[in-house]
């Protein structure tokens, strides 16, 4: 990393977030889906986006694998790199929020401290932590890429849930039973949360 520049000043736009939200006819929000690999984070995030899109809501999904192909392609899976990965995603999500968009992020994000850092960069009340809760055995049974088997064989080091810890959210905005509840019902729960919090209308 090079030296940080001290000659930068934040530019305040004349078109504000409030004006963008008025144009969009809904509020912006960060939906942070967290859970083990195979818990259904990406599946649920994309299903929620489909529902929101059909309701006329402006959305964008940031998915773990996709982001690591570009923005975070220089990062590995050490604890420090995981922390930096989540820091970057939090800052990127904040930019989408400023655009008045409902941004959905699907990342294991195993450490509470990192998720709290992502929460802290967003204005109060705009960050929604959604815990996709599925038992480890269910996640392993969904593992089409064979990652858990490789992790148990020692081929993949520092794999969350096997050789690296996952710290469950202590007070998420929504606790979703993605291990035993249908996808449709899970989507309904997320949509209801957004309506209750006034992000979208009824």
The residues annotated with a catalytic role in the active site are 109
The beta strand positions in the chain, using DSSP E, are 29-34, 59-63, 102-106, 127-132, 174-176
Q: How far apart are CA 173 and CA 152, in angstroms?
A: 32
Q: How far apart are CA 47 and CA 8, in angstroms?
A: 40
Task: Provide the 3-class DSSP secondary structure of residue 52.
Answer: helix
Q: How far apart are CA 47 and CA 104, in angstroms?
A: 11
Residue 137 corresponds to which tokens in the numbers above? 């055995």
Q: Which residue has the tokens 């990652």?
A: 147
Q: How far apart are CA 87 and CA 75, in angstroms?
A: 12
DSSP H or E stretch at residue 83: helix 79-98
147-154 long-range Cβ contacts below 8 angstroms, 24+ apart: 147/37, 148/37, 148/38
């Amino acid at each position: 990393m090079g030296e940080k520049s001290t000659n930068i000043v934040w530019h305040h736009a004349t078109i504000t977030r409030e004006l963008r939200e008025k144009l969009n006819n809904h509020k912006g929000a960060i939906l942070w889906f967290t859970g083990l690999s195979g818990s259904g984070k990406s599946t649920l995030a994309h299903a929620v986006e489909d529902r929101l899109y059909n309701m006329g809501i402006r959305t964008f999904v940031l998915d773990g694998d996709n982001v690591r192909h570009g923005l975070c392609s220089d990062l590995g899976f050490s604890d420090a790199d995981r922390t930096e990965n989540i820091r970057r995603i939090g800052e990127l999500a904040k930019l989408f929020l400023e655009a008045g968009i409902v941004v959905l992020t699907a990342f294991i994000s195993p450490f509470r401290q990192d998720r709290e850092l992502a929460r802290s960069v967003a204005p109060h009340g705009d960050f929604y932590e959604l815990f996709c809760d599925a038992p480890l055995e269910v996640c392993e049974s969904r593992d089409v890429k064979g990652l858990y088997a490789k992790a148990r064989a020692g081929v993949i080091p520092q794999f969350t849930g096997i050789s690296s810890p996952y710290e469950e959210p202590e007070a998420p905005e929504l606790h979703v039973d993605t291990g035993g509840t249908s996808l449709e019902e899970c989507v309904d729960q997320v949509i209801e949360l957004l309506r209750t919090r006034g992000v979208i209308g009824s």
